[in-house]
Structure 1
Amino acid sequence: MLYKIIKESQNVEIIDFLQKSNTILSQNINHKKQLFNNLASLCKNEIKLSQKEIIDCLNNRELIENSGIGNGVAIPNIQNSYIKNIQGMFLKLLNPIDYQSIDKEPVDLVFFLLSPKNIGSNHLKILALISRKLSNKEIKRNIRGTSNIESIYSILTM
């Protein structure tokens, strides 16, 4: 997924931790549990955690605070010592799902972030970067208006 570790002092951009191959249109997701299963399945070979361990990390994180930030966007994220590099995955769901988001709106844009435990405040900085990007109405409209992976990736990384 990701090929470099981001240092504390470095300015971080989405292109630093999201690869085009991890920008996905997802058709058959009907609920949050299924989303987490799919996310875990997609990344289980990239990190030294089992699919069940990834799902458990996601569910435990959701118990602390729901990752649905509103307006159809969710940023599920985990930090774990078995994750060696910051990695991102973006899913555009064809059908919005109930996510128990802060605004109770269904979610169709999902940015999954995996981070090493030892990156200090960079995890929060990256979450803030993703949140700012996906809070932009024009960016969301452009992503929702296309089914082209290259276009979605370009919108996210510009």
Structure 2
Amino acid sequence: MNVNDLLKPAAVRVISGASSKKRLMHDIGDIAASAYGVSANGTVEALMERESLGPTGVGHGVALPHARLPEIDSVTGAFVLLERPIDFEAVDRQPVDLVFALFAPEDAGVEHLKALALISRTLRDGAFCAKLRANPDPAKIYTILTEITPVQAA
């Protein structure tokens, strides 16, 4: 599995106006609706429901919100670079500016977990994250994200 299996260029955005986690989730819902044809409201509800189980801010300015959506048939994603970091209740209490949301079919099983592990490993690399932050252009971000070589789980 590679990032380009999960992400369309239309699902990569740079957002300046997200002032809260809830506002960001609405932006992600809109991105998912335009890129994948899913319900924006349903996506927001699913993401917020997952967040209620525990925040998905993994630290170092990174969040990995994820949800299962009945309208899709494969694991997909959306990537957002925030111009202004927001509070995401991350484990390290640091604000978040890199957000990779994953959407999985309700019966995705192991594919969802593989995608989550891939993105988590990728965004754990500080130099890689710095490269994303230094390129506030969606096309460049997409290229950076999709040129990475997948790392196999240990």
TM-score by length of 2: 0.88
User: What one-letter code is carried by the residue in structure 1 that aligns with 2:87?
Assistant: D
Residue of structure 2 in register with 1:43 after alignment: 32
User: What one-letter code is carried by the residue in structure 2 that aligns with 1:141?
Assistant: A
Residue of structure 2 in register with 1:28 after alignment: 17
Larger displacement relative to structure 2 (16-25 or 70-79):
16-25
Q: CA deviation at 1:47?
A: 4.0
User: What one-letter code is carried by the residue in structure 2 that aligns with 1:70?
Assistant: G
Cα distance in 1 for residues equivalent to 2:8 and 2:38: 19
User: What one-letter code is carried by the residue in structure 1 that aligns with 2:136?
Assistant: S
User: What one-letter code is carried by the residue in structure 2 that aligns with 1:120?
Assistant: G
Cα distance in 2 for residues equivalent to 1:16 and 1:137: 23
Residue of structure 2 in register with 1:118 after alignment: 107
Q: Secondary structure, in 3 states, of the residue corresponding to 1:41?
A: helix
User: What one-letter code is carried by the residue in structure 1 that aligns with 2:130?
Assistant: R
Q: CA deviation at 1:27?
A: 1.1
Q: CA deviation at 1:34?
A: 0.3
Aligned CA distance change for structure 1 residues 48 and 23 (closer, same or farther; 3 Å): closer
Q: CA deviation at 1:113?
A: 0.8
Residues 31-54 of structure 1, C-alpha deviations (whole Å, 9 max, x = no match):
1010011111222353443x3322
Residue of structure 1 in register with 2:150 after alignment: none
Gapped runs of 5+ residues in structure 1? 1-11
Residue of structure 2 in register with 1:129 after alignment: 118
User: What one-letter code is carried by the residue in structure 2 that aligns with 1:33?
Assistant: K
CA RMSD of aligned residues (A): 1.4
Q: CA deviation at 1:63?
A: 1.6
Cα distance in 1 for residues equivalent to 2:135 and 2:38: 34
| Percent of matched pairs sharing the same residue | 32
Cα distance in 1 for residues equivalent to 2:99 and 2:59: 11
Residue of structure 2 in register with 1:6 after alignment: none
1:56 alignment partner, one of 36, 45, 55: 45
Gapped runs of 5+ residues in structure 2? 148-154
Q: Secondary structure, in 3 states, of the residue corresponding to 2:123?
A: helix
Q: Is the 8 A contact 2:75 2:115 kept in 1?
A: no
Q: Does residue 140 of the first structure (1) align with residue 129 of the second (2)?
A: yes
Residue of structure 2 in register with 1:151 after alignment: 140
Q: Does residue 83 of the first structure (1) align with residue 98 of the second (2)?
A: no
Q: CA deviation at 1:146?
A: 1.5
Q: CA deviation at 1:23?
A: 1.2
